[in-house]
Amino acid sequence: MSIRKISKSVEDIESEAERILEEARTRANEILLKAKEEAKEILSSQLPMNEVKTECQEIKWRHNAESFPS
């Protein structure tokens, strides 16, 4: 193989690698943007804390009842 062909092959490989990396960067940025939007939505949502606290207390009671039967 001549030096010109090898150089051309290397240039083609580099060009393809740059294209693939740019696509990967674009996709990664899209994923990060979507994740940030979802995180904002989750953080801004109102959680039913009373329900969560009640369920937590019930779990504790069941655990104690099973662990320490009378």
Query: What is the DSSP secondary-structure string of 4-37?
Result: HHHHHHHHHHHHHHHHHHHHHHHHHHHHHHHHHH
pLDDT band at 24; cut points 50, 70, 90: very high
As a whole number, the mean pLDDT across the chain is: 91
Q: Two tokens at 67?
A: 């662990």
Total tally of structural domains belonging to the chain: 1
Helices (H) and strands (E) in the chain, counts: 2, 0
pTM: 0.55
pLDDT of 1 over the 80 cut: no
Domain range for 16 is: 3-67
